[in-house]
Amino acid sequence: MENRLGNPRNTIEIIQKYEFAFQKKFGQNFLIDTHVLDKIIRSAGVTKDDMVLEIGPGIGSMTQYLAEAARAVVAVEIDANLIPILKETLADYNNVTVINEDILKVDIKKLAEQYNGGRPIKVVANLPYYITTPIIMGLFESGVPIDNITVMVQKEVADRMQTGPGSKDYGALSLAVQYYAEPYIVANVPPNCFIPRPKVGSAVIRLTRYEKPPVQVSDPALMFKLIRASFNQRRKTLQNGLNNAAELSFTKEQIAAAIESLGVSPTIRGEALTLEQFAALANYFSENCL
């Protein structure tokens, strides 16, 4: 298509036409690389059977590609200044619904019901750094039926999502993502693929939702409290991290016994534990201390 926005010239034209001012608070960087756009659609596995939720469509660059590949696209955009632009850039597509709203306040379960009969949806997004974690965790924790989430994020955040114990990037986000989904980095994307250019590199990561989590834990909320407590004071031992956590009320003796039950050193740090070990720790507390 002649007016596809993956073409940098077309993107610049539409931005100038509407005298659009980039909002730093929304972390706006528009993708201008057709190869990356194609790769995102392919890696998300979008087909004519799918309803796709797009978070932050911007001026509609990726939305155009999604509309051609999917049965229906629901695009949620927080910036009211982009709505008239989207009306123009998406005028040729009758399978796109644009919602001017903050994604963190949208009832996504209701959208999945309305536009996809409650069947699993696919989520595609180009997410600003400051809101990546709340959006991804909100999607997983909401119980919305999701097939996969394919997102453009800061490269450092993508690395964090897929790394394991022992790495400096390993933390609460790594464990939370890996409890819900299998992460796979699809592509690294340099700053020159965007207008305006971000200061750091980005990456496309696909999170394929597990039908069942890879670990059995009787109280996931407790497991995540233990994970947060372990990484809040990263340099402390696991024992001290759990002892100092305001949201946990176990005694020193209970914590020592729980760590001992894992068969690890009492001086181990939380960053050395696997997801399986955190699940075992949570199950120990559930069975013996509550």
Could you please report the per-residue DSSP string of 28-45? --EE--HHHHHHHHHHHT
192 CB-contact burial (10 Å; exposed 0-12 / middle 13-18 / buried 19+): exposed
Angle at 134 between CA 33 and CA 151, to 5 degrees: 20
Is 32 contained in some domain? yes
Is 214 contained in some domain? no
CB of 150 within 8 A of CB of 40? yes
- The number of distinct structural domains making up the chain is 2
Both 129 and 260 in one domain: the answer is no
Is 49 contained in some domain? yes
Rg (CA), the chain: 21
Is 117 contained in some domain? yes
Both 30 and 138 in one domain: the answer is yes
Which residue in 67, 118, 116, 121 sits closest to 94, CA to CA? 67
The token pair at 195 is 């207008």
CB of 99 within 8 A of CB of 106? yes
Both 273 and 151 in one domain: the answer is no
Is 3 contained in some domain? no
pLDDT at 3: 65
Domain limit, last residue, from 209, 238, 267: 209
Q: Note down the domain range covering 264.
A: 220-288
CB of 264 within 8 A of CB of 258? no
Is 142 contained in some domain? yes
Both 83 and 175 in one domain: the answer is yes
Give CA separation, 188 vs 36, 53, 200, in Å: 9, 22, 11
* CATH number of 244's domain: 1.10.8.100
Q: Give the residues of the chain that fall short of pLDDT 50.
A: 1
Domain limit, last residue, from 209, 238, 269: 209
Q: What is the pTM of this model?
A: 0.89
Please give the Cα distance from 20 to 157 (Å, whole number): 28
Is 1 contained in some domain? no
Both 43 and 72 in one domain: the answer is yes
Domain limit, last residue, from 157, 177, 209: 209
Both 281 and 151 in one domain: the answer is no
Both 80 and 177 in one domain: the answer is yes
Both 77 and 180 in one domain: the answer is yes
| Angle of helix 172-180 versus helix 132-141 axis, rounded to 10 | 30
CB of 186 within 8 A of CB of 39? yes
